[in-house]
Amino acid sequence: MSVRLSCPSCNSAFALPALPDHRRAQCPRCGDVFPIHTYTEQPDDGTPHAVAPAPVVLVRSRKPAVAFAAALLLLAAVGAFGMLARSLRTLPPSDPPPSVPSATATPPAQLAGLGYLPAECNVVFAVQPGPLLAEADRTKQPPRDVLAQLGLPDQVLAALDGTGVPLAQIDHIAGGLYLNNPGDTELRVALVLVLRAPLADEAAFRDAIKARPVAGKSNRWSVALDKVPLTPLLARVAPTVWVFGLTDKDIAQAEKGGFGPGALQFPNLRRVIDTVPADAAVWVAADDERDWNQKPLVKLLASSPDAKKLLPALGPFRGGMVAVTFGEKPRVAVQVRVADTATADRVRAYFSARAAEVEGAKSEAPSTTEARYEGPFDAKLLGRMLGDVK
């Protein structure tokens, strides 16, 4: 009896002769690899037989969220990463890294990749594979499963599968977005890949991702993305630093040497980045005084029925961060800045209530318009917060 699936990336339906033991499938149309959460069994004559769910837990709520409006920005960040990471799908092998990746995360202020992002960014994120690999080794599970437990969307995980870059080869990934405002059609996206050792064959790498030289630029190429109506640019700014951007503006400053480590080019956002724990391995930060629910891209990301319930809650949101650290046990930190003290009081009250329920958790009030929660990482609890915070 065969099984019928639907690709979460392009919605194409297709059949497999049987359910794979590893519960993963590759879409024949777009090439994405995704975990099989649901499938339909059908006899060999093609008639649907029954729907059988794979083991997965979904946490949902219909209540609006203020404090976790940052979650939508996280989706924007990892979505951009997923799109650009597809271009690395066939990266050739590189020389072995000079040493084992460090299990200790580098503080955000010291991440070189942040210095190559456009100064206009209002969302910035970073991922450091070293602590992720250490956590996978500690828990005796594949590194990809650790990423899945963090709640990264299937499309992003599929893009990671297809990069061809061993996680041990990557020092860190930094990304930045400028989510535009009404009347502003310019969307800025940049992704910085910082390797621990140079690629063994850069020419083969460029050929594999269909990179074509840009006239007059010895270290710049245009990249053809499969099934994506965009042609991002690629710049080699150092032997171990490659920068992707949607337009010339996204990579121009990087080609000049960047702004230096620590995100000094955007002082307002830098204040948010400074709230990220120094040992965070995965984090996203956002800051903008303008109404987030008026941003065209946010509206697009929030077009699903469930997300539409969150869109009105973005109005009071002004900035914040979400970060995950790995040590003896994973921990999460969430800090939110809102437009008024009344909203901040409600968020702090909620954080305090959740902290009282979780051993080792705490809540704080960094300022009159901010709320912060820190505690053991629990995907179900985060899902509950996403639905419950008013």
Task: Give the per-residue pLDDT at 326.
Answer: 86
Task: Give the per-residue pLDDT at 152.
Answer: 61
Task: Give the per-residue pLDDT at 273.
Answer: 92
Task: Give the per-residue pLDDT at 264.
Answer: 83
- With tokens 């940049």, the residue in question is 190
Q: Output helix, strand, coil percentages for the chain, rounded to the nearest 5.
A: 30, 25, 40
Tell me if residue 137 falls in helix, strand or coil.
helix
Predicted TM-score (pTM) of the model is 0.72
Strand boundaries in the chain, DSSP class E:
2-6, 13-16, 24-26, 33-35, 38-42, 50-53, 123-127, 170-178, 188-195, 211-214, 217-223, 233-238, 241-245, 280-287, 317-325, 331-338, 362-364, 370-376
| Residue-level pLDDT, tens digit, the chain, 390 residues | 688 887 765 667 888 888 876 677 777 765 566 677 777 877 665 554 433 333 322 223 323 333 333 333 344 444 444 434 443 443 444 444 455 567 788 999 899 999 999 998 889 999 888 888 888 888 887 777 777 776 665 555 555 554 456 777 888 989 998 887 777 777 788 989 898 888 888 887 777 777 889 988 888 998 876 665 667 889 999 999 999 888 889 998 899 999 887 778 888 888 999 999 999 988 999 998 887 777 777 766 666 655 555 555 566 888 899 898 987 788 999 998 988 898 889 888 888 988 998 899 999 999 999 999 999 987 677 666 655 544
Strand boundaries in 29-180, DSSP class E:
33-35, 38-42, 50-53, 123-127, 170-178
Task: Give the per-residue pLDDT at 52.
Answer: 37
Structure tokens belonging to residue 343:
């909203």
| 42-47 contacts at long range (C-beta below 8 A, 24 or more positions apart) | 42/1, 42/2, 42/3, 42/4, 42/15, 43/1, 43/2, 44/1, 44/2, 46/15
Task: Give the per-residue pLDDT at 79.
Answer: 43
Domain boundaries, the chain: 2-53, 64-390
Task: Give the per-residue pLDDT at 8.
Answer: 65
Cα distances (Å, whole numbers) of residue 33 to 165, 210, 337: 16, 21, 37
Structure tokens belonging to residue 168:
């041990």
Task: Give the per-residue pLDDT at 251.
Answer: 92
Nearest partner of 337 among 374, 386, 287, 267, judged by Cα: 287
Structure tokens belonging to residue 114:
């942040």
